[in-house]
Amino acid sequence: METRQKKAQIKVRISPDDKEQIRILANDSGMTPSGLLYEHGLSYQPHSKLDPKAIEKLSQLHAELNQVGDQLKD
């Protein structure tokens, strides 16, 4: 179990229905709502909003632009 002192707070607004759902999930898991949100919040790995294909295309365009720039120098 976590031994660090927890002194900071994060406040969020949620709907009454969401609050009740979190309370039920926590209760069913033998946890407090805060504990449930804490554990899930630290283990969640968000997905990047960047499109890998777009990044690859930009990288290719950058390389091509450098080639054109090098040709103009000659």
Number of domains the chain contains: 1
pLDDT digits (tens, 9 = 90+) for 25-65: 999 999 999 999 999 998 888 888 888 899 999 999 999 99
Q: Which domain holds residue 22?
A: 16-73
Model-level pTM greater than 0.95?
A: no
65 falls within a domain: yes
2 falls within a domain: no
The SS3 of residue 9 is: coil
Judged against a pLDDT cut of 80, whether residue 1 lies above it is answered with no
Burial of 35 (0-12, 13-18, 19+ CB in 10 A): middle
